[in-house]
Amino acid sequence: DAGVIQSPRHEVTEMGQEVTLRCKPISGHDYLFWYRQTMMRGLELLIYFNNNVPIDDSGMPEDRFSAKMPNASFSTLKIQPSEPRDSAVYFCASTRRGSYTFGSGTRLTVV
Amino acid sequence: SQQGEEDPQALSIQEGENATMNCSYKTSINNLQWYRQNSGRGLVHLILIRSNEREKHSGRLRVTLDTSKKSSSLLITASRAADTASYFCATEGNQFYFGTGTSLTVIP
C-alpha cells in the first residue's frame, strides 16, 4: 500500500489566490481527516469525513476554507482567497477505526 | 475542536536516560494512541492501547492508561539521539482528538 498520498508537497502562492490541496486515503479506510500544523497553534483538526460525509467541520477557521470528498478515494481542501496567515503544513490522515495513517503533508506558503 | 493536553511541552534528556510524557483527555474513549513526528515529516503511529487495557509494551516503549483519571503516559527507556522528535497522543471515542505534543530532545 502506498499509504496516504498528498499533493502537492510544497505550494507557494500569492495572497488572494485559490489553493487546492489533494489527498488520496488508504483504500478501505472510511474516515478521512484534514489537519493543519503551525508552530504557534500546533496540530489542529480542521474537518473529518466518515464514508465521504463531513462529520465535524468545527475546526475550519472561516468560510474561506472548504473541503470535499466526492468519493472514497479522493478529498480536497480548498482555500479561497488565501492569506499569509494560512501558511502552515496541512496533513491528511485516514483510518478505519484504529491507528491513523498520515500523509507526508503539504507545506503551504502564502506570500 | 478540543484537544488533549500533554506535558511536558518540551523535554531534554541525556542519551541512555528514560523519557516520560503524559497525556490527559476529557471524554470517554475507545482507545488512545501515541504518535511520533520528526521535524518536517508526517506523524507515525507508535502504539495503541484500548480502553480496557492498563499497560502495553512495544520494544523500548511502555504506555499506561488510567481511564478513571483520563490520562496516559508514554515511557521511552534507554533513550537514543534518534528518539529526538515530537510525540503526540490521540484519542478515539465519539470524537477524535490529538494532543498538543511533547518535544523530546535526546542529547548524545
At B61-93, the pLDDT tens digits run: 999 999 999 999 999 999 999 999 999 999 888
Answer whether B50 touches A (CB < 8 Å).
no
Is the Cβ pair A102, B44 closer than 8 Å? yes
Cell of A103: 500523509
Higher pLDDT pick, B100 / A79: A79
pLDDT in tens, A68-85: 999 999 999 999 999 999
pLDDT class for B98, splitting at 50, 70, 90?
Answer: confident
Tell me the one-letter amino acid at B13.
I
Provide the percentage of residues in chain B whose pLDDT is more than 70.
96
Contact B13, A57 (CB under 8 A): no
CA–CA min distance A58, chain B (Å): 6
> What is the sign of the dihedral through the CA atoms of A38, B49, A96 and A49?
negative
Provide the percentage of residues in chain A whose pLDDT is more than 90.
81
- DSSP-derived 3-state class of residue A34: strand
CA–CA min distance A17, chain B (Å): 25
For the cut 90, the answer to whether the pLDDT of residue A100 exceeds it is: no
**Which of A31, A58, A98 is opposite residue B1, by nearest beta carbon?**
A58
The predicted structure's pLDDT at residue A1: 65
